[in-house]
Structure 1
Amino acid sequence: MRRLLLAGIGNIFRGDDAFGCEVARVLAGRPQAEGVYVKDFGTRGFDLACALLEGYDGAVLLDATSRGRPPGTLYVIEPGPVEEAVAVDPHALTPDHVLRLVASFGGRPPWLRVIGCEPAWLGDEDEGAMGLSEPVQAAVEEAARMAEELAREFLGPAIDDRPGTVT
């Protein structure tokens, strides 16, 4: 049985950076196919790196991702191979750094996709911010649907094809 991790990433105290956490919350409230696991890692990049070493065959990372488009724009990113394993600060791990940390542990990232959302605001450094902006909140349901579609793609024909369901 193949195992797929749907991993929320973000900081709930930094406005739209909580996007991945919110998508993971939505997905966790829905039935998932056998072999699909949903977990909100928040800011715990080291824990995510360890999880990627625990025998998952694939992962979908859910995260706020700035790429210069309008807020709420969703991206599906297929990261390239990790070229180097380097020491990284385990307290400041972006998805890119998590993948390099996995490589430094001698692991190889599994099948991997990132569903990213263009943030509108992350709050300021000193005060932070609670809650998602309107355009990012509006993208959460579509991002959850995209994650379910990627799960179907990854797991193949064993997934129920009814729209909006992963069983």
Structure 2
Amino acid sequence: MFLNEGDSAPDFALPGAGGETVSLAALKGRKVVLYFYPKDDTSGCTREAVEFNALRDKFARAKTVLVGMSPDPVKSHDKFRDKYELAFPLASDETKRTLSAYGVWVEKSMYGRKYMGVERSTFLIDATGKIAKIWRKVKVPGHAEEVLKAAEGI
């Protein structure tokens, strides 16, 4: 399944760091930045999380909630969130159902070896639950700022 801007964002309810349940339905009426990342506490994923976290007050002023998601287990998310003092939900999709629904669980290749993994992607979802903007194959530097500008514009 391949989602496009204007499509309804697939709903989910997943376990999150700190024992919370993270669900899209619970966030309806607010804009949501849903960003998918490959693995907790790796260099690119850490930088991305820290950059989003640094802008969380600006996202809040833009009435936008941040949610990170990866296939890592909740215990990993707890350590990651505590280590970097991340102040937004991290959802755990160990079944990869939500990752698949958003089209970010894909075949990847490194050094000629093919494997399944998360394609770093971000979805900006408007207050009605529609996908307003999609970034695929994200390059981390400057990405959080770009997403914030888009969130402020809708």
When normalised by structure 1's length, the TM-score is: 0.35
When normalised by structure 2's length, the TM-score is: 0.37
